[in-house]
Amino acid sequence: MFQVRIHGRGGQGVVTAAELLSVAAFREDRHAQAFPSFGSERTGAPVVAFCRIDDRPIRLREPILAPDALIIQDPTLLHQVDVFGGLVPDGYILINTSRTFEDLGLGDFVRDFSAAQLCTVPATEIAMKHVGRPLPNAALLGGFAALTGRTSLESVNSAIREKFPAKVAEANVLAAAAAFEYVAREKAEVAHA
Q: For other proteins, which is the closer residue by CB, 87 or 106?
A: 87
Q: Which residues of 157-171 are buried (b: 16+ CB within 10 A; e: fewer)?
A: bbbbbeebeeebbbb
If binding means CB under 8 A, how many residues of this protein chain bind other proteins?
A: 33
Q: Does 140 bind other proteins (CB under 8 A)?
A: no
Site for other proteins in 110-139 (CB under 8 A): none
Under the binding rule (CB under 8 A), the answer on residue 81 touching other proteins is yes
Count CB atoms within 10 A of the CB of residue 41. 13
* Candidate list 43, 55, 56, 62; residue touching other proteins; CB under 8 A: 62
Residue 85 interacting with other proteins (CB under 8 A) = yes
157 near other proteins, rule: CB under 8 A: no
Q: Is 55 a residue that touches other proteins (CB under 8 A)?
A: no
- Contact flag: residue 151 with other proteins (CB under 8 A): no
Amino acid at 171: A
Smaller CB separation from other proteins, 51 or 183: 51
How far apart are the C-alpha atoms of 17 and 127, rounded to whole Å?
Answer: 14
Work out whether 26 is an interface residue with other proteins (CB under 8 A): yes
| Interaction pattern, residues 33-52, with other proteins; x per rule: CB under 8 A | xxxxxxxx----xx-x----
CB contact at 8 A, 6 and 71: yes
Rule CB under 8 A: choose which of 4, 6, 17, 23 binds other proteins: 23
What does the binding site for other proteins look like in residue numbers (CB under 8 A)?
5, 18-19, 22-23, 25-26, 31-40, 45-46, 48, 57-63, 65, 80-82, 85-86
